[in-house]
Amino acid sequence: MMSTTTATKAERPEELRIFVERFMHFMNLWTVYKDLLTGHYVPSVGTVYKSPSENTDAKDWPVNISVMFILYAYFYSLVEDSDDGLNGFRVWRAVWPSEGAAISAVEARVLPFVDRLRIFRNRLGFHGSRTRNHEAAGFDLFAQHTGDEIYDAMRLFKSLGAALLGMDMAVQTNDAQGQARCRDWIDKVALQAQSKSAVQTP
């Protein structure tokens, strides 16, 4: 079990504050997407794609697919592999260095598809393309990685982010029970990430 450490408020970089803001937007998008998939609400206009057997016509532009595009593209903005982009793993390691094992375990679940996710974001998700030929590379994400692989990686990222922020709050308020709860949460996320990495296909 790892020791619990957290940066003081004075030590926290501006990048952390920006990350937290964007992370909360990601959580909101995740909630909307999951609620669509589980039928918590039905869009007032449009259809919801559930399975190939339903033969939903592509011309109907299912609402959940539109939200999925936005969620995937937005997720990349939290894991961008560049010096001037926001990268949650880099932020987490700077603020919570003692949680390196959990951070690396979740990162290992994201890295296999992050380059294709960038191309998806650039050519389909946000920036778009002027030709089908240029757009085509964006679909490699779906050709090379399953929806479950991407969904589970995002779920683990979301869970670890929430657990780290929860631990931070518990430490700042000297909440021993909260720290114990978040310690267990972080360890469980790390274990899930490590166990699934062992069976993950290339």
- pLDDT tens-digit readout, 125-169: 999 999 999 999 999 999 999 999 999 999 999 999 999 999 999
How far is 137 from 123, CA to CA, in rounded Å? 8
Instruction: Say how many CA atoms lie within 13 Å of 31 toward its Cβ.
Output: 6
Average pLDDT over residues 55-63: 68
pLDDT of 200 higher than 60: no
> Please, which contacts does 106-110 make with residues 24 or more away whose CB atoms are closer than 8 Å?
106/153, 106/156, 106/157, 106/160, 106/189, 106/190, 106/193, 108/193, 108/197, 109/152, 109/153, 109/156, 109/157, 109/193, 109/196, 109/197, 109/200, 110/79, 110/153, 110/157
What per-residue confidence (pLDDT) applies to 13?
A: 79
Q: What is the DSSP letter of 173?
A: T
How far is 8 from 199, CA to CA, in rounded Å? 38
Q: Are 157 and 79 in contact (CB under 8 A)?
A: yes
Token pair of 73 as six digits: 């593209």
Query: Considering the chain, what percentage of its residues have pLDDT values greater than 70?
Result: 86
Q: What is the DSSP letter of 144?
A: H
Token pair of 168 as six digits: 């931070």
Bridge partners of 79, per DSSP, are 87
Q: Are 60 and 46 in contact (CB under 8 A)?
A: yes
